[in-house]
């Protein structure tokens, strides 16, 4: 019922993910900015777990074969229906009309919800696209058709205020040190600021700055890693694992970030600092 006219550089189907399968080598995946997806779903009357679309920087364009209610949340962008700007976060799209989400002016990822949800086939209980493993539906391409489901829930959006992506000052991320902090001079993690690298993606946020100094030589056998794990590759530049992260890794993990949500809307070049959490 939806035809993709312009897929954008990376637009994927996302819900709240598939937790509980790490022991099988399957990460959670799901929307990077879950607050934005929940808000968009609430605005159109969907349940919080309904699948929507996650765009990256350049948005996307969708032709609706049937009339539907839609909402856009997350990154600030110009939203148009048949080339006419839409002022509200939730709006009606007539049959045959084209919904166009433009370039992100602030933030990175916009979330598009449609009443009834994007009704692609679930995999392990989730409709999320996992860009690392390939589980779930493929990333959007021009000409792809997407089905819309039936609206079954009607929650209120009153408790979900609009949250604008922050661009003021550096991001300060709380991190719990360990398990391999004894492999590094950990003071270096907090001494200076890092910048988000342009090669960051849904798998991980790569940071550029002063390389961390190793205190132990050698290599580790692969061990489990979790969402927010701060892994330190051979170049000494920290990497923060995000939703599509692998479930094991061989580089040492110096700590785990308490909340990776701010990274969902942080652009390359954004300054990042760490603070220690007991």
Tokens of 60: 């996307």
**Cβ atoms < 10 Å from Cβ of 150:** 8
57: which residues sit within 8 A by CB, 6+ positions away? 8, 9, 75, 103, 104, 108, 109
Instruction: Identify whether the C-beta of residue 117 lies closer than 8 Å to the C-beta of residue 31.
Output: no
Instruction: Report the pLDDT value the prediction gives residue 278, as an integer from 0 to 100.
Output: 82
Mean pLDDT along residues 145-171: 72
Q: Cα–chain-centroid distance for residue 208? A: 20
**% of the chain exceeding 90 in pLDDT:** 91
| CA 226 to the chain's CA centroid | 15
Nearest to 2 by CA among 126, 143, 123, 102: 143
> Which residue, chain included where needed, has tokens 């819900």?
15
**What mean pLDDT, rounded, does the chain reach?**
94
pLDDT band at 166 (very low <50, low <70, confident <90, very high): low
Break the chain into its structural domains and give their ranges.
Answer: 2-146, 171-276
Q: Which of these, 243, 34, 38, lies nearest to 158 by C-alpha position?
A: 38
* Bridge partners for 118 per DSSP: 148
**From the CA atom positions of the chain, what is the Rg in Å?**
20
As given in the structure block, the two tokens for residue 206 are: 């790569």
Diameter of the chain by CA atoms? 63
β-bridge partners, 261: none
pLDDT tens by residue, 221-236 = 999 999 999 999 999 9
Q: How far, in Å, CA of 167 to CA of 187, rounded?
A: 27
Please list the residues that pair with 208 across neighbouring strands. 195
**How does residue 108 score in pLDDT terms, banded at 50, 70 and 90?**
very high
Q: Which CATH number describes the domain made up of 2-146?
A: 2.60.120
- Helix boundaries (H) for the chain: 34-44, 187-191
Separation between Cα atoms, residue 227 and residue 203, nearest integer Å: 10
Contacts of 126 (CB under 8 A, 6+ apart): 15, 16, 17, 18, 29, 30, 136
Query: Which pLDDT score, from 0 to 100, does residue 168 have?
Result: 60
Strand ranges in 2-115 using DSSP code E only, listed in sequence order? 2-6, 12-14, 52-54, 60-64, 68-81, 84-85, 90-93, 98-114
pLDDT per residue as tens digits for the range 168-220: 679 999 999 999 999 999 999 999 999 999 999 999 999 999 999 999 998 89
- Nearest residue to 50 (alpha-carbon basis) of 70, 75, 76: 70
The CA distance from 101 to 111, in Å, is: 10
Residue 125 pLDDT > 70, yes or no?
yes
| Residues of the chain by 3-state class (helix, strand, coil), percent to 5 | 10, 35, 55
Query: Could you tell me the fold of the domain covering 171-276?
Result: Cyclophilin (2.40.100)
């Amino acid at each position: 019922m939806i035809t993709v006219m312009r897929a954008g550089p990376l637009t994927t189907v996302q819900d709240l993910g598939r937790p509980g399968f790490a022991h099988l080598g399957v990460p959670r995946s799901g929307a990077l900015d879950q607050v934005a997806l929940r808000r968009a779903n609430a605005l159109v009357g969907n349940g919080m777990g309904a699948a929507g679309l996650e765009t990256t920087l350049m948005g996307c364009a969708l032709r609706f074969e049937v009339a539907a209610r839609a909402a856009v949340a997350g990154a600030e962008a110009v939203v148009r229906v048949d080339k006419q700007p839409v002022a509200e976060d939730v709006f009606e799209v007539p049959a045959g009309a084209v919904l166009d989400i433009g370039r992100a002016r602030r933030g990175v990822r916009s979330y598009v919800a449609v009443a009834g949800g994007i009704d692609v086939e679930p995999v392990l209980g989730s409709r999320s696209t996992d860009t690392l493993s390939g589980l779930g539906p493929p990333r959007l391409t021009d000409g792809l058709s997407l089905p819309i489901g039936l609206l079954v829930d009607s929650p209120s959006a009153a408790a979900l205020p609009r949250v604008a992506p922050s661009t003021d000052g550096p991001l300060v991320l709380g991190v719990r040190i360990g398990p391999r902090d004894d492999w590094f001079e950990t003071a270096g993690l907090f001494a200076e600021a890092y910048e988000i690298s342009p090669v960051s993606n849904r798998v991980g946020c790569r940071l550029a700055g002063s390389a961390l100094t190793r205190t132990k030589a050698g290599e580790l056998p692969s061990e489990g890693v979790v969402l927010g794990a701060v892994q330190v590759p051979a170049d000494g530049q920290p990497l923060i694992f995000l939703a599509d992260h692998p479930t094991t890794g061989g580089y040492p993990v110096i700590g785990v970030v308490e909340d990776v949500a701010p990274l969902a809307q942080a652009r390359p070049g954004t300054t990042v600092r760490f603070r220690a959490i007991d």
